[in-house]
Amino acid sequence: MALRTIPIRRSGNRPNLFWGGDRELVLFAGLLAFALVFSAQDWRATIYGIGLWLSALYVLRLMAKSDPLMRFVFLRSHRYRKFYPPRSTPFRINTERK
């Protein structure tokens, strides 16, 4: 009896990206830029808001290109920070640096 193979489609296995970056972070950056522009209603605020939006979109695209799930990895590392002491082994004797 042969094993049954089930193909895993790529569309159901992709990360949830929006405009090349993490969906929630891109939308939150857009919301911040939108709030800055329409709360101040000044040309300077408009320029800063557009600059904030474009720079955040660029950084989030770079982040998603490196690892599409980097936000979850970052949040998990902060959650587990107290479990991972910054030393190589529990038997190391820490000395002060001079």
Write out residues in the chain with pLDDT < 70, as ranges: 84-90, 92-94, 96-98
pLDDT recorded at residue 51: 95
pTM over 0.75: no
Using only the alpha carbons of the chain, give its radius of gyration.
Answer: 22
- Whether the CB-CB separation of 57 and 29 falls below 8 Å is answered with yes
- First-to-last alpha carbon distance for the chain, in angstroms, is 69
pLDDT recorded at residue 88: 65
- Whether the CB-CB separation of 72 and 29 falls below 8 Å is answered with no
pLDDT recorded at residue 17: 86
- For 54-63, the pLDDT digits (tens) are 999 999 999 9
Instruction: Provide the strand spans (E) within the chain.
Output: 17-18, 21-22
Q: What φ, ψ does residue 20 adopt, rounded to 5°? A: 90, -5
pLDDT recorded at residue 40: 87
